[in-house]
Amino acid sequence: MRIRHILGAFLVLQLIALTAFPIFSDEAIYIRWAKLAVSEPVKYAFLPMLDGKPPLHVWSLIPFVQAFADPLFGARLFSVLVGCVTAVGMLKLAALLGGNRKQQALALVLTLVTPYWLFHHRMAVTEGFLVFWLVLAMVSGLRLLRSPTVVWKHVAVFAIAVAGSLWTKTTALFFIPMLALLPALVWSVEKGKRALFSVYLDKKTYLLATAGFIGCLGFLALRLSPLFPFLFSRSVDYTFTVQELLAGEWKYVLFASLPKIMWWVTWYMSPFLMLAAVRPEKRTGVLWLMAAVYAAPIILTGRVVTARYIFPVAVPLTIAAALGLGAIMEKGSKILGRVILWGFIVHAAVFGFLLFALPDYSLLTHEDKHQYLLEWSSGHGIAQIVGRVKDDLKLHPVIVATEGYFGTLPDGIWIYFANYKGPNSVEVYGIGQPITEIPVSLQQRVVKDTIVYLVVNQSRFFDTNTDKYEVVGTYPRPYGAPPLLLLKVSKVKVQ
């Protein structure tokens, strides 16, 4: 089967039930930013920086969220397409590391179907795009280092990839030690032709370092925005300081955070692939070292860490697995190769089936189940509420107030009405949380034939006076987690 056939089959498969998984808070935020950037580019183009996010991912979403009636579909489609391109890059990466045709094909297929990749390429989060830049940097860097002469095209692409990654997410700074190991990776596949230090003293290595430095300077172009200082302002919310680590938080890092992260990576990569990725050869050792140098600073300083923050380690680990599995199937134990291959197929197939067909019961880790499916950050009920409001708008003006100011609510609803043009008006806004009682100001907006709704998570709503509202929708989350409520607000009663 040719590459285009594999990618075509993957693309068709990914389009199935692409929006069945509930919208996640970060997805809602990114899509809102993209919508705002279209409406008033001068005012909102760099808005993501206010929350510590470079703007390139949001800018890339703009044509997709504008082209489709369902902006969530458009945003996730962008991630799917990025995944296809990234998979081709992984094939090229395997080839540059000496992989034969079978190993190259494995690198392509594993990038498409391994749970870690599959999940993040179905979500409109930043990580899939970030990893695309890493793969591009590695491919262009290895092409430069392995070419007999200097090819300036590879130098330019490497600089662009470094700048692109930093314009996508500031954690791309942790790519620097990974990319610094590219000469060691070249040394590992040259089978002793040169000493390691001679590879680092090569002219092309200096050019690569210069291109990386230019890419970092490209990131500094964001200083043109007055919001640049905010890019790192929220790091304190997610990281420990040195003083905190020395005061005892190192125990949390070593005994709580590290074991969890190791399990996350093992589960999402599949234990079978991780077994195939462990081989006693130089290139495998360097690939594991690349994964370690990226993850180490995140693990050591991470106050808040999730599996997607570590996602870039999937690049070297997938390549190591593809090379290892291919070698086992061709030169090693056929029985071991079949056990690994079929074990992985079963794991990936079950994970993928549940993700597509029964997303509420996806085989996510405990922590990811909570943030994606069980907590306020999960968009269960958003699609149904949007559908109801659209029906109401055919006959009435509608006001939708929600808990919160930022995130799944109100952004997950707002994005569907940002460009609304119809016979009646619609307004969507947040009023904070928790909500102890229905605000009188909201009741006062129930005038003439206007319908006023309040959308709130049951766990954050404490008004028991049902004279003020009627529960017209209850949208459950799996495993008995608190549901999302749709309340129809009543008029203020005259005393």
Structure tokens at 147: 């070419």
Cα–Cα distance for residue pair 319/104, rounded to 1 Å: 9
CB 96 within 8 Å of CB 139: yes
Cα–Cα distance for residue pair 337/326, rounded to 1 Å: 8
Averaged over 395-405, what is the pLDDT? 96
What separation in angstroms does the CA of 188 have from each of 182, 210, 213, 278?
10, 23, 25, 15
Beta sheet of 469-475, edge-to-edge order: 426-430, 398-402, 451-457, 484-489, 469-475
Cα–Cα distance for residue pair 314/295, rounded to 1 Å: 11
494 has a pLDDT exceeding 60: no
Cα–Cα distance for residue pair 221/474, rounded to 1 Å: 48
pLDDT (0 to 100) of residue 316: 98
pLDDT (0 to 100) of residue 422: 87
pLDDT (0 to 100) of residue 1: 60
329 has a pLDDT exceeding 70: yes
* Mean pLDDT score of the chain: 94
23 has a pLDDT exceeding 70: yes
CB 438 within 8 Å of CB 469: yes
495 has a pLDDT exceeding 60: no
pLDDT (0 to 100) of residue 245: 87
DSSP letter at 192 equals T
The DSSP bridge pattern shows strands 469-475 and 484-489 to be: antiparallel
What separation in angstroms does the CA of 348 have from each of 113, 128, 338?
7, 18, 15
pLDDT tens-digit series, residues 291-303:
999 999 999 988 8
Averaged over 33-44, what is the pLDDT? 96
Helices 71-96 and 127-146: crossing angle in degrees, nearest 10, is 20
CB 431 within 8 Å of CB 373: no
CB 89 within 8 Å of CB 135: yes
CB 109 within 8 Å of CB 91: no
| CA dihedral for 70, 76, 80, 81, sign (positive or negative) | positive
Averaged over 113-120, what is the pLDDT? 97
Helices 25-39 and 56-67: crossing angle in degrees, nearest 10, is 80
pLDDT (0 to 100) of residue 46: 96
The answer to which of 65-79, 183-197, 202-216 has the lowest mean pLDDT is 183-197
Query: 3-state DSSP call for residue 357?
Result: helix
The answer to which of 332-341, 349-358, 442-451 has the lowest mean pLDDT is 332-341
Averaged over 234-263, what is the pLDDT? 85
Q: For residue 183, say if its preceding peptide bond is cis, omega within 30 degrees of 0.
A: no
CB 453 within 8 Å of CB 430: no
48 has a pLDDT exceeding 80: yes
Cα–Cα distance for residue pair 430/362, rounded to 1 Å: 30
Number of residues assigned to the chain: 495
Residues 6+ apart with CB under 8 A from 91: 3, 104, 105, 107, 108
**C-alpha torsion 26→31→34→36, nearest 10:** -100
Which one, of 401, 394, 429, 425, lies nearest residue 487 by Cα? 401
Helices 314-331 and 282-301: crossing angle in degrees, nearest 10, is 150
Structure tokens at 301: 């300083």
pLDDT (0 to 100) of residue 2: 81
pTM over 0.75: yes
What 3 state SS string does 253-285 have? HHHHHHHHHHHHHHHHHCHHHHHHCCCCCHHHH
pLDDT tens-digit series, residues 150-208:
899 999 999 999 999 999 999 999 999 999 999 999 999 987 678 888 889 999 999 99
Which one, of 166, 172, 201, lies nearest residue 186 by Cα? 201
CB 405 within 8 Å of CB 413: no
* Tokens 């067909």 found at: 357
The answer to which of 249-258, 351-360, 467-476 has the lowest mean pLDDT is 249-258
Query: 3-state DSSP call for residue 488?
Result: strand
Cα–Cα distance for residue pair 62/39, rounded to 1 Å: 11
Cα–Cα distance for residue pair 347/341, rounded to 1 Å: 10
Q: How many CA atoms lie within 13 A of 80 on its CB side?
A: 21
Q: What percent of the chain has pLDDT over 90?
A: 82
The kind and range of the H/E element at 177 are: helix 175-179
